[in-house]
C-alpha cells in the first residue's frame, strides 16, 4: 500500500485502478442468501425462467465488490468514507466474470464548515473481462487535509 492520500494529493482527472477480482457462483449465491434472496441470484435452474435467463449477481453484490477494489486502490488517510452516491447497473455480472474498477476524480470541494477536510466526487466504472461496463458509480468521498492528522 502506498502512502496515505490527503486532500492536497488529489487532483481532477486523477485515476485509480484495481482488480481483477473473480466472481464465482458460490459467492453470488452466498451474498444473495444473506441480502437478496431471489431465484435468479440463488439457483441456476430457477434463474433460467427469470428475466435474466441465467444466474446473475445481485447489484448490491457488484457494488460491494466494487467497494472492495476501491479500498485496494484508494488509500485515503483516515479511510475511505463515503457520504453516498448514485449507482447504475448496466449489465448483469455472471459466475466466472472477472471484474476491475477505474475511479476518476471529477470534482474536489473544500468543506465550508470544517477546515480539515473536503469532498471528492469520483466516477467509478466497474468492468468485466470483456471491457464492458457493468456498473457506474458516482460517489462522494471524504478526504482529509494533512493538518487533520492529529484527529484521525
Positions touching a copy of itself (CB under 8 A) are: 31, 34-40, 49-51, 58-61, 63-65, 67-68, 71, 78-89, 136, 142, 152
Q: Which is nearer to a copy of itself, 53 or 96 (CB)?
A: 53
Rounded to a whole number of angstroms, the minimum distance from the CB of residue 106 to a copy of itself is: 16
Q: Which is nearer to a copy of itself, 3 or 13 (CB)?
A: 3
Rounded to a whole number of angstroms, the minimum distance from the CB of residue 102 to a copy of itself is: 18
Rounded to a whole number of angstroms, the minimum distance from the CB of residue 88 to a copy of itself is: 4
Q: Which is nearer to a copy of itself, 2 or 13 (CB)?
A: 2
Rounded to a whole number of angstroms, the minimum distance from the CB of residue 8 to a copy of itself is: 18
Cα separation, 114 vs 100, in Å, equals: 34
Q: Which is nearer to a copy of itself, 16 or 31 (CB)?
A: 31
Amino acid at each position: 500500500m502506498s502512502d496515505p492520500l490527503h486532500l492536497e494529493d488529489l487532483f481532477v482527472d486523477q485515476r485509480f485502478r484495481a482488480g481483477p477480482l473473480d466472481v464465482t457462483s458460490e459467492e453470488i449465491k452466498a451474498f444473495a442468501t444473506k441480502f437478496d434472496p431471489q431465484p435468479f441470484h440463488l439457483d441456476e435452474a430457477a434463474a433460467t425462467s427469470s428475466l435474466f435467463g441465467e444466474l446473475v449477481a445481485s447489484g448490491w453484490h457488484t457494488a460491494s465488490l466494487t467497494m472492495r477494489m476501491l479500498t485496494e486502490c484508494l488509500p485515503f488517510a483516515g479511510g475511505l468514507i463515503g457520504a453516498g452516491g448514485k449507482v447504475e447497473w448496466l449489465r448483469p455480472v455472471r459466475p466466472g466474470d472477472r471484474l476491475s474498477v477505474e475511479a476518476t476524480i471529477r470534482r474536489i470541494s473544500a468543506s465550508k464548515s470544517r477546515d480539515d477536510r473536503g469532498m471528492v466526487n469520483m466516477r467509478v466504472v466497474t468492468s468485466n473481462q470483456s471491457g464492458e461496463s457493468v456498473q457506474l458509480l458516482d460517489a462522494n468521498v471524504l478526504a482529509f487535509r494533512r493538518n487533520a492528522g492529529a484527529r484521525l
